Structure 1
Amino acid sequence: MYAPFRLTLLAAALTLCLPAAAQDALQPKPPPPKASDKKIEQVEIKGTANAYDPRRDDTATKIVVNSEEITKYGDTNVLDVLKRVPGITVNTGANGRGGEIRMRGLGAGYTQILVNGERAPAGFSMDSLAPDSIERIEVLRAASAEFSTQSVAGTINIILKRSVKNRLRELKLSAQGSSNGYGPNANLQMSDRDGAFSYSISANLAQDRFKFDSLGEERGVDTAGRPNMARSLGLAQDGKFTFFNLSPRLNWTLGQDNVLTSQTFVTANRFDNDIRETSVASLGAPAPYPDLLNAVDNSSRYLREDLSWARKFADGGKLDLKVGVNLGKSTSMTDRSATGLDTGIYVEGRERGVNSTGKYAKTLEKGHTFAFGWDGGVDTRDDLRDETRRLPRQSGLELDQDSEARVKRLAVFAQDEWNITPSWSMYLGARWEGIRTHAEGNTFGAADASSNVWSPIMQTLYKIPGRKGDQVRLALTRTYKAPGLQGLSPRRFTSENNSSTEPDFQGNPNLKPELAFGIDAAYEHYWAEGALVSISASSRKISDFTRTLVYFDGARWISTPSNQDSAVTRSLEIETKFPLKAVMEDAPAVDLRASVNRNWSRVESVPGPYNRLDQQTPLTVNLGVDYKVGQLSTGGSFAYRRGGPVRVSLNQRAYTWPRRDLDVYALWKFDAQRQLRFAVGNVFSEDFQSENTIDDPRIGSQTRNFNFPQGVRYRLTYEFKF
């Protein structure tokens, strides 16, 4: 593998150098310089045309988004970056922040999100991860034995800054605003070397203030279809979100091919929001609390420290060891007040964990590498909930809950990568994962759950002989989705305005993991430098499918997860990207890209039509263009997400609205040290809308919908190196 790579670089270097040498030979020779005129010249050799491309050359399917693509639009939110990546859909949150990351149209429970190859901790907000602290994003459509196989839809691995540049000092200052809010952002990047020691530091501080009013309605009909409820709803929010990231990386070279690395990630955020929920009934009974005020103050802090050691041996083996610890704390204080209600709710969660990973890889022969390793850890979480009711007239502590949960996990894996022929490569892997969960609290008894999943994996790449740039891929995988801690815990989470559309939530300790058998196939055509056409298809058969059941227990409405029957999901993706010069001679420096994702799914235990899995996004279209001339770089990205009706369960329906997102940017480089970036997001000023319906044969049906306004966002960033 390495010898052809080096020869490719050499050939590219010769290609660059020979035309210059030929031109030099035709020029008249100047007189030889004097000794005093001789200067030492620096020669830089670059390989371009045939450089190694992980997407094209790796046996395992992988899309890599580099740092330049990540920071192109000057985003302050990594979710805005991901929505422009082919095959990924981001469902924006109701207040413009947050959102769910989806691959193949399926949500985060099916899409695995990793940070530096590790699962993001419980409660970690992707909003608090700054794009400038990310080195690259890897999108794995099919599972790999090296990472957890809790990736039914796929894996998104976010790699924090690792590269070290000599004497880098870069500061970015930005401000953004919209009709709903505004906020500043500052980012600092530093790196340097000193002998055997090198370091890189990324720090980010940002704040987002928002204020807007949302409108909705709630309607109901009885079992005969006669209207029996009509309410006008209002939701006014006034808040701010502040976060801080710090990601230092320290490297010590202990000897040749012997490196010790410390990677730290610290994040802290605070979310304050004053929410007023109003309800005016024009038909039927009013809501229990028609004018409810919620003052929310949330804060969280998280620290992760990884110490890793990488050592290469003379016999071709390589050992990677890592030990990590993580600490986290989150607090929430909510004051609820209304006529006849005055409640204070304090919630505190503490998380701590330790983990260890290891991998040993050895090249058995040229183009044949075998590796095995492990991944294990113990995570403990303590939760405390105190509720004090000052109204009704009951003094003291009304509700006091505390619980402790411990999650133990262990995984072992082995994988074999083999270039069987120059045109054919094979990846075989297997991974066993075991998870043990124990939870207990003062309001429920001890609950234990365990799961064991064996995941065989095969991926292959075949480069069609005689057809340069044409290749096909095939992958067979067994993946799964493990139930989360909240879904397993029998602890009850109550809703003040309890109803079929706002039920209490209670976990189910008897939940089993959802198992999925998958097949992926793709055809890829690389027809010019930087030009690609890809057609890929996939299918997943899911057993022990988990869906949320909503029922009335005689006193209150409750939602709880439950294993049901099975589900099937299928996807088709077409992607292309190319520079305009690939189809037009003397074309300007324009790069074009487009992708279309069509998804289908069916839940066996839910009658159709529209019985899609996890409210799957049926269609996503992404279009993009970039243009560069002189000191100016500009471009735009358009994303379309189709909606429609969804049959969630036997008695639950939902409707999602289509969404069109258009983002544009312009970058002006003053010189090598200074540049100015301007970006406009959500150009069409698309709002977020939601609608949910609950049907019950005893009372009829209730429908609740809301419209959350989201304005055009403007962002200006000044970047300079010093």
Structure 2
Amino acid sequence: MKKLFLLFLIFNIGLQAFSQKIQLKFVDKFSAPLFGVTVNLRDSLNKSFQLNNFTDTSGRAEFNLKSNSIYLLKASSVGYKPFTSIINTSEKGKAYIFTLQDDSQTLSSVTVTAKKPLMTQEDDKTIVDPEPLAGMSTNAFELIEKTPGLFVDQDGNVYLNSSSPARIYINGREQKLGPSDIASILKSLPPNSIEKIEIIRTPSASMDASSSGGAVNVVLKKGVKLGRTGTINAGFNQGRFGNQFVGINLNRSLETRSSYLNLNFNHRKSFDESTFERVLETENRNLNTDSYSIFPAYSIFSGFGANFDLSKKLEIGYDGRLSFNDNKSRIENNSEVVNSASFVEKFSQNTNLVDNNTQNYNINQGVNAKYKFDEKGSELRFDTSLDYFETNGVQDYSTNFLIPTPISFSGAGDWLNSRTLFASMLDFKYLFPQKFTLETGLKTSIQNFDSKTEYTITRNGITAKDAFRTNAFDYFENINAAYAQMSKSFGKYVLKTGARLENTVMKGRQTVPSDTTFSINRTDLFPYIFFSRKLFKIASYDLRGYLIARRTISRPVYEYLNPFPRFVDQYIYEAGNPSLRPQFTNNIEANISFDERPIFAIGRNYVKDIFTSVVLQDKSDARVSYRTYQNLGKNTETYFRLLGAVPPGKKYFFVVGTMFMFNDYEGQLDNKPITFSKGTWSFFTFHQLKIDGNSSVYMNGFFRTNGQQQFYELSNFGNLDLSINRQFFNKKLVVTAQMRDLFYSNNYSFTLNQGNINATGFRRNDSRRFGINIRYNFGQKKKNEGFDMFNVEGMDSK
């Protein structure tokens, strides 16, 4: 990587500048960038000479201008008053930022068909516009699944460029929940309530250090800048089981305030089917298990908020979310122990039935404020939030043995988990002259987690307390952080560097059945560096190179540390590891963007003290295995990504990408050395074919070869979605027919060879579905214009 870094610098420094540019930026009264502003410049001495351009998604427009000259500026955009000013190119280093004022004489309704960028590169993050994908999705979770370059496993984990899952943020706030709980929240969010998705593969020092797998920030819509708008959305999809949903989004904007309201109802039902065959080497026997589960559920979601301009410099906002999920499941497990040679002789055979009914509530309240020091972008931001998540569950189970002796027993249990998270942060950003920017901030987060589980077991008609399953524990976590970073532009170069200091306090205490108290108090430093340079132009588009490096941490949560066993069935249980250490990752990545669109990246993760889920054999009974977590050693992950679009045209749009990751493990498992190397390819694509002015066909999908999930080696698998979109009533009504997992290929076989465990299996779920979405848009809409090779044409912009 040192050689790569040197070559990168030598290549960039050796390139010569082609021309000097002046950059203009246009924002609205909320300091949000304005896209599609028409900009006209005329030479004050030669008024017949003029230049025209449009602002991009960051609100910027660039011009090649003569030095020591004066130009007359005119700017216009639908919904804003015409703007005029003077540009003096002799004022070197001046930042040109202009604020357009709302025009009260707007049309009652504006619908403009325009091209919108699907993906853009903004410093160290990729911005995804969800609009093209929203019509093919019933909720935010499905929308993330369809985002090119993201991979979501069947347990709800999201992966970017690492074998560690990414952290999920909503409106910039980390969701400190397990993957299944986060998936429940995302499945309750309607897809058209999302403004954008930010993919941050190597977060800067301003973000939490606990993001070794990167971060995905889902930004929800908080109102629009033109009058009143709204959307009514309804639909269904059908596989072996069916989903139905309906929702409404309302937005209102006045001169100094805006507000929004989202309501959504979603009913879901799916299944999960798996087989598992484990070799019991010491007994010359095989343990075979077939499992079939169904998951009916429904959810209600409400999002609401308001923003107020108290003055030209100060604005405050409030946003909240309230969701309720009712999840049920029925799991049928058939297990048998057979002779490994004949597969006929049976030593044991039994059936397990488990019924679960879980209800969870999530309430999130947040207040934010921003004070602007100047028009250049200097500001002070404050954000505080309180998140409460509660889960109530009831379980009934029964186990029936047929061989060797007919016997049955049953049991019941209930649990109550509550989690409270308070987070508050203060960020300061100041833009000095000579293109120097200073950023610094403080953050604190406090989390309390309480869990109480009580079980009974019934044998021979006698019911008693089940001490194996009954437990109670509480967990406290406090993370305090401070960061500072600075950036400086040197012509075509941009350098940003900084560091984050985090103090972590974790305390856990199990009260039932025994005390397993532990405490952790540590302080860590996480440096960060970002380097960028314009390389050269291709067909008037800028080619820019980036180099990013950062250190991150993954902390074990209390569920990973609690050593008390948690029963799954008579052949497997789960137990935590109180000696688990944090996992550290050093990442370095070089990437290239074309006109702010990501096209290529290469990087490496150096992971130390890896902790991951492992399956071990119980020393007292070879038939029984248990899942736990261990620090295994170190891993080097080398990867590259490639993304392109061909051809850029009005009727047909095509995006294709690929990613390769090579893992090199070295460590110990169950006191035995473990070393292996494995490469995995992932391919993803997105297509749009515009049939006419009102109809389009969309296709997206992925394919993964030689996949890996922790220590499970996966077979090839993939997914292909197809949808047809038709617009009616002046493009206000949109009807979409879609087919998910067209070839039913999103299922896989797996192999697990680690320690004393040698197993194979197969897993699939209700992934192939046909559905219809109906969406009606009303109110006013914003005008978007522009063209680039990563644009999607024909979508109504908001």
- What TM-score range do you get, normalising by the shorter chain? 0.7 to 0.9
2:470 maps to 1:404 = no
2:142 maps to 1:84 = no
Deviation digits for residues 563-609 of structure 1, max 9, x if unmatched? 2321111101111125533xxxxxx4211101100001111116677
Counterparts of 1:41 and 1:137, CA distance in 2: 30
Alignment CA distance shift 1:669-1:708 (3 Å): same
Query: 1:6 Cα deviation (Å)?
Result: 4.9
Checking the alignment, whether the CA contact within 8 Å between 1:440 and 1:446 is kept in structure 2 is yes
2:270 maps to 1:210 = yes
Deviation digits for residues 228-287 of structure 1, max 9, x if unmatched? 2264x4333333121122111211211112111001012211111122112345537868
Checking the alignment, whether the CA contact within 8 Å between 2:717 and 2:748 is kept in structure 1 is no
Checking the alignment, whether the CA contact within 8 Å between 1:173 and 1:187 is kept in structure 2 is yes
Query: 1:553 Cα deviation (Å)?
Result: 4.0
Query: 1:640 Cα deviation (Å)?
Result: 0.5
Q: Provide the secondary structure at the position in 2 that maps to 1:81.
A: helix
Q: Give the root-mean-square deviation of aligned CA atoms.
A: 3.3
1:374 aligns with 442
Mapping of residues 142-541 of structure 1, within 5 Å: 142-164=202-224, 165-178=226-239, 180-210=240-270, 214=273, 216-220=275-279, 222=281, 227-229=284-286, 231=288, 233-283=289-339, 290-314=350-374, 317-339=378-400, 340-391=408-459, 394-399=462-467, 400-421=470-491, 423-442=492-511, 443-465=514-536, 468-498=541-571, 502=572, 504-526=573-595, 534-541=599-606
Query: 1:177 Cα deviation (Å)?
Result: 0.5
Question: What amino acid is the match of 1:257?
Answer: K
Counterparts of 1:116 and 1:605, CA distance in 2: 38
2:755 maps to 1:682 = no
Counterparts of 2:542 and 2:113, CA distance in 1: 16
Question: What amino acid is the match of 1:492?
Answer: P
Question: What amino acid is the match of 2:355?
Answer: A
Q: Provide the secondary structure at the position in 2 that maps to 1:132.
A: helix
Alignment CA distance shift 1:210-1:49 (3 Å): closer
Alignment CA distance shift 1:162-1:688 (3 Å): same
Checking the alignment, whether the CA contact within 8 Å between 1:444 and 1:491 is kept in structure 2 is no
Counterparts of 1:52 and 1:675, CA distance in 2: 20
Q: Which runs of 4+ in 1 moved over 4 A?
A: 6-9, 44-54, 284-289, 465-468, 606-612, 644-647, 694-697
Question: What amino acid is the match of 2:548?
Answer: A
Checking the alignment, whether the CA contact within 8 Å between 1:610 and 1:646 is kept in structure 2 is no
Counterparts of 1:337 and 1:678, CA distance in 2: 42
Checking the alignment, whether the CA contact within 8 Å between 1:342 and 1:392 is kept in structure 2 is no
Could you tell me which runs of 5 or more consecutive residues in structure 1 were left unpaired when the two chains were aligned. 18-39, 582-587, 649-653
2:150 maps to 1:121 = no
1:599 aligns with 661
Counterparts of 2:219 and 2:558, CA distance in 1: 26
Counterparts of 1:273 and 1:41, CA distance in 2: 52
2:628 to 549, 552, 560: 560
Alignment CA distance shift 1:552-1:54 (3 Å): closer
2:120 maps to 1:63 = no
Question: What amino acid is the match of 2:601?
Answer: S
Counterparts of 1:197 and 1:282, CA distance in 2: 70
Checking the alignment, whether the CA contact within 8 Å between 1:133 and 1:203 is kept in structure 2 is no
Alignment CA distance shift 1:707-1:55 (3 Å): closer
2:24 maps to 1:4 = yes
Checking the alignment, whether the CA contact within 8 Å between 2:244 and 2:267 is kept in structure 1 is yes
1:102 aligns with 159
Amino-acid identity (%): 14
Query: 1:194 Cα deviation (Å)?
Result: 3.7
Counterparts of 1:662 and 1:720, CA distance in 2: 27
Alignment CA distance shift 1:207-1:228 (3 Å): same
Question: What amino acid is the match of 1:126?
Answer: A
Counterparts of 2:259 and 2:586, CA distance in 1: 43
Counterparts of 2:247 and 2:510, CA distance in 1: 42
Checking the alignment, whether the CA contact within 8 Å between 2:133 and 2:146 is kept in structure 1 is no
Query: 1:313 Cα deviation (Å)?
Result: 2.2
Query: 1:390 Cα deviation (Å)?
Result: 1.7
Query: 1:80 Cα deviation (Å)?
Result: 2.9
Counterparts of 2:305 and 2:51, CA distance in 1: 37
Could you tell me which runs of 5 or more consecutive residues in structure 2 were left unpaired when the two chains were aligned. 1-20, 28-36, 42-49, 55-104, 401-407, 779-798
Counterparts of 2:171 and 2:279, CA distance in 1: 48
Checking the alignment, whether the CA contact within 8 Å between 1:451 and 1:513 is kept in structure 2 is no
Counterparts of 2:271 and 2:146, CA distance in 1: 27
2:196 maps to 1:136 = yes
Counterparts of 1:437 and 1:492, CA distance in 2: 21
2:701 maps to 1:638 = yes
Checking the alignment, whether the CA contact within 8 Å between 1:545 and 1:564 is kept in structure 2 is yes
Counterparts of 2:217 and 2:306, CA distance in 1: 21
Deviation digits for residues 168-206 of structure 1, max 9, x if unmatched? 12101101111x210211121101124433101122210
Counterparts of 1:413 and 1:147, CA distance in 2: 9
Counterparts of 1:446 and 1:420, CA distance in 2: 54
Query: 1:346 Cα deviation (Å)?
Result: 1.2
Larger CA deviation: 281-290 vs 364-373: 281-290
Checking the alignment, whether the CA contact within 8 Å between 1:176 and 1:182 is kept in structure 2 is yes
Question: What amino acid is the match of 1:114?
Answer: Y
Counterparts of 1:596 and 1:254, CA distance in 2: 48
2:63 maps to 1:15 = no
TM-score, normalization by structure 1: 0.84
Query: 1:696 Cα deviation (Å)?
Result: 6.0
Counterparts of 1:417 and 1:192, CA distance in 2: 37
Total equivalences in the alignment:
658
Alignment CA distance shift 1:451-1:158 (3 Å): farther
Query: 1:493 Cα deviation (Å)?
Result: 1.4
Larger CA deviation: 667-676 vs 286-295: 286-295
Query: 1:511 Cα deviation (Å)?
Result: 2.0
Question: What amino acid is the match of 1:444?
Answer: D
Counterparts of 1:427 and 1:46, CA distance in 2: 40
Query: 1:610 Cα deviation (Å)?
Result: 4.3
Checking the alignment, whether the CA contact within 8 Å between 2:535 and 2:544 is kept in structure 1 is yes
Query: 1:149 Cα deviation (Å)?
Result: 2.0
Query: 1:153 Cα deviation (Å)?
Result: 2.9
1:37 aligns with none
Question: What amino acid is the match of 1:64?
Answer: I
